[in-house]
Copies of this chain bind each other. A is one copy, B any other.
Amino acid sequence: MRSNDTLLDLLLETQALDRVPRFGYLIRGVDNPESVTEHSWHVLFLVWVLADHLPDVDRARALDLAMVHDLAELRLGDLARTASRYFPPGAKQQAESAAMTEILAPLPGKNHKLLTEYQAGHSREARLVKACDKLQLMIKVAVYESWGATGMTRFWDNPDNFFDGGFDLVRQLYEELKARRDASDLNLA
């Protein structure tokens, strides 16, 4: 592997993101689970939809962060959150940042700093994208459960999975989701 030279090299490499599965679902028995590409679209869509209600958030910047937040997984795979603890502190984020630099090398206007801002989680936009990343995780778990998957019940007990970034709107969506799940009715057609 190496840095991408041209724009076409980058576009060709990203096609394989469809083949990187989301490890947390895969390892708990979900068949044909969400790919990292799919997860990324859902997070983008969520940011796009919520930003209309959050005038203090720079929507374009939030979309920028969401666009690349998991792109490093093209080269690293989707490493489970719990696996980070086996590595030295910060090693995973640095690995992602290094991979991102090589992946996005042909894009002068964008670089791994988008990822660094997301990882730092300080800006409003980074907090919103992180919150959407977690909210999307639980929405997907809820839908998989409505389809019959039963391997992820412990996800509901992990407070890390309910990060709202300080946004009431997100918190309300988590609450509505949990209420429907507890009632065993997501109201899907």
Which A residues are within 8 Å of any B CB, using their own CB? 1-2, 6-21, 23, 26-32, 34-35, 37-38, 40-42, 44-46, 48-49, 52, 59-60, 63-64, 67, 74-80, 82-83, 86-88, 91, 94-96, 98-99, 107, 109-110, 139-140, 142-144, 146-151, 154, 173, 176-177, 180, 186-189
Contacts and interface: CB of A to CB of B under 8 A. Distances in A.
A96 B83 CA distance: 10
Contacts of A139: 11-12, 15
- Among A86, A147, A176, the most chain B Cβ lie within 10 Å of the Cβ of A86
A67 B48 contact: yes
Counting every copy of the chain, the complex holds: 6
A28 B146 CA distance: 9
